[in-house]
Chains A and B, each alone.
Chain A
């Protein structure tokens, strides 16, 4: 990619990640800045995602940019059979930055090949969603004060959950110990286990969401176990509640522990956790705004220094 597009978290070096996190902290201190006056940001959502779209559009608006785009491709030429290439080329005539979400995997990378306008990937199918990873990293850094020497426990669907895979890859730049807590059907794929082994990353796999694991964690990253992921529904019924978290389970946890979740949650975090100061998932979503402001500036080649 010739420009500053952000397609995958794996394209960013450790230094670039740290710089983005620092910029995000500047935006948290002062989110309203008119540094994008006169710029137009296009948000192209070929697949609806209200949460991500509102976060990106708020980020652009708070920076003073104008926002164009669509939230539902049914109302656009895509529904008439226009190719992705043609849509991107057309929008490139109008916008300084494209933020796109697509149901096809690899769509954002392809978009960068047909336009000179920088592209931010806001999710391409089950493939990449770098702004989610940036807000996860920012939340960890903010609550722990560091990204090194942490124990991070990932719980639930570790097989299909792209957020846990991207977070694992991003954290491989740092010294983090992982606990992977999942049932057999949803365990961390072999390629990521091999990646940990090859890169000297300490990890522990467990079927059980045990008190020992909870009480030795600095971060617990919860994910949703979806019924449709199971080939064996008996297995689903057996395991669906094994990876749920309630407040009583946190009684002896570390004072600095924070609970993260990419949201939406269903039953995996009981409501009685919400009032525990260790629950961080709602603030985590808010951090997405600052992380996305930082990503927009980097994609446009704008340095933010204070």
Chain B
């Protein structure tokens, strides 16, 4: 694995490395994570060579560990991502993100006439395909695929 080489680029003492993000999803992930407003040190890699994806993105955030909710949002954007948790320069956990069968209250339905867009209702989406990610609104049946998916 090239994991050691990557971590050596900007070794983290504590924090999180989000690896194997498809390049086209990288900046969406950056935005979704609210990195622009973070006061931690962050390294963003774009269009890095990847055997699996061709080109990939990587985000390293010091002193932050991600909540399960954030991890599942990353899964929607970047289902191939792997989350590495770093403590004292060591990878203590290496976990591929997991896209659940149903995603509750994390996606906005693209159908302006959907009941969830007009009433105070948590959205519910079923994952109907995983590569690329395709989701279907539980209520109105509207589908969104890949970068059409809008995260709350």
Interface residues of A (CB under 8 A from B): 83-85, 102-107, 109-110, 124-127
Contacts and interface: CB of A to CB of B under 8 A. Distances in A.
A124 B119 CA distance: 14
B89 interface: no
A85 B120 CA distance: 9
Leading 10 A-B pairs by shortest Cβ distance: A106-B139, A105-B140, A106-B140, A106-B115, A104-B115, A107-B115, A125-B113, A105-B113, A110-B115, A84-B119
B64 to A, nearest CB: 36
A110 B139 contact: yes
Name which of B116, B118, B138 has the most chain A CB atoms within 10 A of its CB: B118
Interface of B: 111, 113-116, 118-121, 137-142
Contacts of A109: 115, 138-139
Contacts, number: 46
A105 B137 CA distance: 10
Nearest to A125: B113
A126 B141 CA distance: 11
A127 B119 contact: no
A71 B119 CA distance: 20
A84 B117 CA distance: 13
Contacts of B141: 105-106, 127
A125 B114 CA distance: 9
B137 A106 contact: yes
A84 B120 CA distance: 9
Nearest to B123: A106
Nearest to A106: B139
A109 B137 CA distance: 12
A272 B37 CA distance: 70
B124 to A, nearest CB: 9
A106 B140 CA distance: 4
Nearest to A191: B143
B140 A127 contact: yes
Contacts of B121: 85, 110
Contacts of A104: 113-115, 118-119
A83 B120 contact: yes
B144 to A, nearest CB: 14
A105 B114 CA distance: 5
10 contacts: A104-B115, A104-B118, A105-B115, A106-B116, A106-B138, A106-B140, A107-B139, A109-B115, A109-B139, A110-B139
